[in-house]
């Protein structure tokens, strides 16, 4: 493994981890923009833009873009979160340059009106699809309530109303600022030739204009509000709790990851033994979401409506025990083993590696090998976790439920 | 890229297959046990789902907690699934712990505690998972689709039927387990970093038996195959559609795969282009191959708001029918590159390889090398696909919808 980095004069970062033994490579443009960088007036524009980039350039139609990707056999797609828009492809090494070339062109899209109007339909279908996924819906609503008044509470998809009102002019103006080269990182991992990639980026991206770009990154504790809504067509109760967490820059993020695993991994965790093993909840887990300048611990439960109160009581008890006594050595060791092996498995695929390498660089301007990431996990002690619990107080949470009448 | 596969067969017929992979530190393994949803006793739909939970609630000398702690201590990532023919239990982990993990799984399979009080919990969770399906219409529509499409009971729900599962008692499920957890029909597969001799020795010492049990024949009834709509006041109509094609053993399988890739391979494929890009009808639209040993279908899903449901369905069926009118050379080239590329990309994952070699062995009786598959894909041409489509027209569609509005067939 060899790490390489460079920066073009306009601020575009290019980073790469070369692994000559890999059978494939993966490439991605990481654009540091997402729902938290929007105003409510244009809510959903980052995600809509992600769709629009596939619609082509002045020289390529949408169909030609799809054709060009498919000719290389690439597995390509994109995703948008509250704070990042990532365009990626996993591909055989012989096609890496062709795919990087294509993505580089697409980063300067034409954003045509007729494509914009047609794609509005698709975006609204995507919003409808997630409305039929209550596990997603409850997390989304809970996040908005938790981060009330903070931009991290903006919905990634936006609403049917905000999408209806959004104009192509507003989108272009947002694009011109947020897709500045100094707000983007080109990441390449796996089996590839570094010089070829940088030459290509140099020739295609050098004319992109640097822009002043900023983001509000203050920490936010959370609103700690509580709400339940009824959806008559549901059969089960869906519950989301959000506690405060540490940021993606915080050295305690490794401890936070372990804490979430101890409390709420899908098997062998405290949630598992108290709720799932006893058949009180059909599903219970906790996930740590590190973000730019802030963070959160998300808990999700699915259970019969009659069990909803018991789930909350048991969860409160778990939080209060953890806050009092911390976690045991034994629990910590198990959680470490799980995370370590998942790091090994995930990073054996260039596609899995791409996201870790890219995010590490964007949040912390540092490169960590898989081994360094694993060491950081190994070094966390029960004392570190106790200090983290004392600081973030997971027992305080925002609570949102959706369920039947 | 020549890979040698490992293979060993115990006297009782249990098959052990392996694929060594260079430059990985992980290993993935799986036991495919002949206790899938369709082979269990009639009227017991959901028993496999209970079994999958119950056997992890204590095995050998360990109670539920000790067993789980030991599994977690090895850092293994469990995966289990219930198919039509097999119940599969497996895991991926750092290869140094492989032997211990296989040992634990052997106990889970051969010496589960199966205590009565634990049965009630496993059953309650299985009941909840059937209820949970009501809140996941996309998954539910595909589950019902398979039930209606295949000759019964081959496509039967792997989650269970409420009326069956409520009647199941611990003794009945113990019997089902005893009759179906049969080493003779079990396939063990491993991929990644492992020592095959050690694996064989370990499995032989615990799974070898003198009796070779006969394979169970499943009597089938004709498929129901009629349009089914379930009303649900959700945001979308979830459309599932399935039509017959050749099974995995057929000589035309690569033609079928390539034809399907033209229809729904990459984003330039026809369904995505016609339904989503040109008409904006859906966000989620796609079709994939679903094959059992002797019968198979192409499964298509689309989710759309009620007023667009009819047009979505009509556009999809038009695209199925339009395939036989001709396919361009460029479409075939893209389909072939896509098939080959996804084959190689997935070959870097130990879990994916462990799954593939087990399924190859079950479906074909042998493991195909990547080179062989690549060659077969290479042989596909416009002409061969056209010949295939002439013999295998898509004429009958099994259709299921869930949502606020029905469609007209």
Q: What is the mean pLDDT of chain A?
A: 97
* pLDDT tens figures, A379-388: 999 999 999 9
* pLDDT tens figures, B152-197: 999 999 999 999 999 999 999 999 999 999 899 999 999 999 999 9
Q: Which residues pair with A7 in a beta bridge?
A: A13
Q: Which residue of A has its CA nearest to B278?
A: A118
- How does residue B218 score in pLDDT terms, banded at 50, 70 and 90? confident
B345 — phi, psi (to 5°)?
-60, -40
Dihedral over Cα of A306, A308, A312, A317: its sign: positive
Cβ-defined contact of B69 to A22 (cutoff 8 Å)? no
Q: Which residue of A has its CA nearest to B76?
A: A338
- Does the pLDDT of residue A96 top 80, yes or no? yes
To test the contact with chain B by mutation, choose from A277, A281, A340 the residue with the greatest count of B C-beta atoms within 10 A, namely A277
- Does the pLDDT of residue B215 top 90, yes or no? no
Which among A132, A232, A345 is the nearest to B26, CB-wise? A345
Q: Which residues pair with A301 in a beta bridge?
A: A239, A284
Which among A70, A90, A282 is the nearest to B268, CB-wise? A70
* pLDDT tens figures, B3-26: 789 999 999 999 999 999 988 999
Minimal C-alpha gap between B272 and chain A (Å)? 10
Average pLDDT of A277-285?
A: 97
Minimal C-alpha gap between A224 and chain B (Å)? 27
Average pLDDT of A135-144?
A: 97
Q: Where are the domains of chain A?
A: 2-205, 226-403
Which among B65, B135, B284 is the nearest to A234, CB-wise? B135
- Does the pLDDT of residue B1 top 60, yes or no? no
| Share above pLDDT 90 across residues of chain A, in percent, rounded to a whole number | 98
Residue from B190, B173, B185 nearest B55 by CA = B173
Minimal C-alpha gap between B99 and chain A (Å)? 15
Q: Which residue of B has its CA nearest to A68?
A: B268
- Provide CB contacts within 8 A for B287, sequence distance 6+: B260, B263, B264, B271, B298, B299, B300, B301
Q: Which residue of A has its CA nearest to B334?
A: A71
- How does residue B306 score in pLDDT terms, banded at 50, 70 and 90? very high
ipTM exceeding the 0.90 mark: yes
- How does residue A335 score in pLDDT terms, banded at 50, 70 and 90? very high
* pLDDT tens figures, B120-144: 999 999 999 999 999 999 999 999 9
Residues of A in contact with B23 (CB under 8 A): 21-22
Q: How far is CA A156 from CA A83, A88, A149, in A?
A: 9, 19, 15
Q: How many CB atoms lie within 10 A of CB B103?
A: 16
Q: Which residues pair with B182 in a beta bridge?
A: none
Cβ-defined contact of B348 to A22 (cutoff 8 Å)? yes
Cβ-defined contact of A118 to B330 (cutoff 8 Å)? no
Domain A2-205 CATH assignment equals 3.30.830.10: yes
- How does residue B224 score in pLDDT terms, banded at 50, 70 and 90? confident
* pLDDT tens figures, B250-263: 999 999 999 999 99
CATH architecture for segment(s) A226-403: 2-Layer Sandwich (3.30)
Cβ-defined contact of B68 to A118 (cutoff 8 Å)? no
- How does residue B211 score in pLDDT terms, banded at 50, 70 and 90? confident
To test the contact with chain B by mutation, choose from A122, A157, A234, A265 the residue with the greatest count of B C-beta atoms within 10 A, namely A122
Which among B64, B282, B345 is the nearest to A24, CB-wise? B345
Residues of A in contact with B191 (CB under 8 A): none
Residues of A in contact with B92 (CB under 8 A): 341, 345
The token duo for B17 is 């297959």
Give the alpha-carbon dihedral of B153, B157, B159, B161, to 10 degrees.
Answer: -80
| Share above pLDDT 70 across residues of chain A, in percent, rounded to a whole number | 100
Cβ-defined contact of A92 to B341 (cutoff 8 Å)? yes
What domains are there in chain B, each with its CATH number?
Answer: 6-207 (3.30.830.10), 228-403 (3.30.830.10)
Q: How many residues are recorded in chain B?
A: 409
* pLDDT tens figures, A3-33: 999 999 999 999 999 999 999 999 999 999 9
- Does the pLDDT of residue A343 top 60, yes or no? yes
A226-403 matches A2-205 in CATH topology: yes
Average pLDDT of B105-129?
A: 97
- Does the pLDDT of residue B2 top 60, yes or no? no
Helices and strands, counts by H and E, chain B? 15, 11
- Does the pLDDT of residue A286 top 70, yes or no? yes
Q: In whole angstroms, what is the distance from residue A351 CA to residue A7 CA?
A: 23
- Does the pLDDT of residue B213 top 80, yes or no? no
E strands in B101-180: none
């Amino acid at each position: 493994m060899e790490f390489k980095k460079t920066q073009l004069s306009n601020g575009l970062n290019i980073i790469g981890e070369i692994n000559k033994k890999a059978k494939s490579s993966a490439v991605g443009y990481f654009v540091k923009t997402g729902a938290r960088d929007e105003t409510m007036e244009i809510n959903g524009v980052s995600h809509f833009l992600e769709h629009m980039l596939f619609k082509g350039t002045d020289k390529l139609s949408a169909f030609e873009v799809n054709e060009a990707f498919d000719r290389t056999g690439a597995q390509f797609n994109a995703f948008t979160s509250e704070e990042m828009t990532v365009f990626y492809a996993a591909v055989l090494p012989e096609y890496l340059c062709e795919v990087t070339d294509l993505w580089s062109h697409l980063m300067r899209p034409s954003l045509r009106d007729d494509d914009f109007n047609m794609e509005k339909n698709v975006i609204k279908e995507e919003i409808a699809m997630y409305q039929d996924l209550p596990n997603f819906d409850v997390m989304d609503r809970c996040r908005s309530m938790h981060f009330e008044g903070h931009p991290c509470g903006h919905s990634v998809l936006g609403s049917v109303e905000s999408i209806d009102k959004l104009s192509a002019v507003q989108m272009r103006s947002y694009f011109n600022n947020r897709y500045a080269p100094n707000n983007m990182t080109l990441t390449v991992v796996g089996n590839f030739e570094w010089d070829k990639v940088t030459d290509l980026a140099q020739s295609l991206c050098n004319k992109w204009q640097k822009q002043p770009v900023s983001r509000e990154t203050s920490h936010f504790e959370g609103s700690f509000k509580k709400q339940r809504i009824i959806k008559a067509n549901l059969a089960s109760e869906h519950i989301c709790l959000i506690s405060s967490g540490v940021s993606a820059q915080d050295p305690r993020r490794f401890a936070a990851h372990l804490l979430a695993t101890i409390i709420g991994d899908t098997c062998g965790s405290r949630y598992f033994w108290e709720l799932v093993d006893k058949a009180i909840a059909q599903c219970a887990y906790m996930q740590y979401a590190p973000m730019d300048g802030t963070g959160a611990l998300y808990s999700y439960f699915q259970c019969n409506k009659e069990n909803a109160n018991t789930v909350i009581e048991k969860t409160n008890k778990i939080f209060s025990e953890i806050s009092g006594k911390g976690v045991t050595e034994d629990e910590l060791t198990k959680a470490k083993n799980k995370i370590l092996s998942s790091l090994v498995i995930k990073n054996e695929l260039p596609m899995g590696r791409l996201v870790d390498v890219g995010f590490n660089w964007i949040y912390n301007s540092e490169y960590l090998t898989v081994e360094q990431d694993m060491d950081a996990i190994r070094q966390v002690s029960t004392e570190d976790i106790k200090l983290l619990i004392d600081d973030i107080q997971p027992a305080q949470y925002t609570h949102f439920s959706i369920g039947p009448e | 890229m020549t890979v040698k596969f490992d293979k060993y067969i115990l006297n009782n017929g249990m098959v052990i297959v392996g694929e060594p992979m260079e430059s990985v530190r992980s290993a993935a393994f799986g036991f495919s046990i002949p206790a899938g949803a369709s082979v269990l006793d009639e009227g017991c739909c959901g028993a496999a789902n209970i079994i999958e939970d119950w056997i992890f609630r204590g095995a050998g000398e360990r109670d539920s907690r000790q067993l789980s702690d030991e599994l977690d201590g090895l850092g293994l990532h469990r995966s289990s699934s219930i198919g039509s023919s097999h119940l599969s239990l497996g895991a991926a982990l750092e290869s140094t712990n492989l032997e211990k993990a296989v040992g634990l799984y052997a106990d889970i399979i051969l010496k589960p505690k199966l205590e009565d009080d634990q049965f009630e919990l496993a059953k309650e969770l299985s009941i909840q998972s059937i209820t949970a399906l009501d809140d996941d219409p996309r998954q539910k529509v595909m589950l019902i689709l398979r039930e209606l499409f295949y000759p019964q009971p081959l496509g039967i729900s792997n989650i269970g039927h409420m009326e069956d599962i409520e009647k199941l008692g611990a003794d009945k499920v113990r019997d089902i387990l005893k009759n179906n957890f049969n080493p003779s029909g079990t396939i063990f597969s491993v991929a990644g970093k492992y020592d095959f001799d050690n694996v064989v020795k370990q499995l032989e010492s615990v799974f070898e038996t003198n009796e070779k049990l006969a394979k169970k024949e499943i009597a089938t009834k004709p498929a129901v195959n009629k349009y089914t709509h379930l009303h649900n006041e959700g945001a979308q109509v979830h459309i599932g559609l399935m039509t017959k094609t050749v099974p995995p053993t057929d000589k035309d399988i690569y033609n079928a795969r390539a034809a399907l890739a033209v229809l729904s391979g990459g984003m330039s494929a026809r369904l995505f282009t016609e339904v989503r890009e040109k008409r904006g009808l859906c966000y989620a639209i796609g079709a994939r191959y679903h094959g059992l040993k002797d019968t198979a279908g192409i499964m298509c899903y689309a989710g759309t708001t009620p007023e667009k449901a009819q047009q979505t369905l009509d556009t999809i069926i038009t695209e199925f029918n339009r395939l036989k009118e001709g396919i361009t050379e460029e479409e075939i080239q893209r389909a072939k590159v896509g098939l080959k590329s996804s084959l190689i990309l997935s070959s870097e994952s130990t879990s994916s390889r462990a799954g593939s070699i087990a399924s190859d062995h079950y479906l074909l009786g042998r493991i195909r090398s990547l080179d062989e598959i690549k060659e077969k894909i290479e042989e596909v041409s416009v002409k061969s696909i056209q010949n295939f489509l002439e013999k295998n027209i898509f004429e009958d569609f099994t259709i299921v919808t869930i949502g606020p509005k029905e469609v007209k067939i």
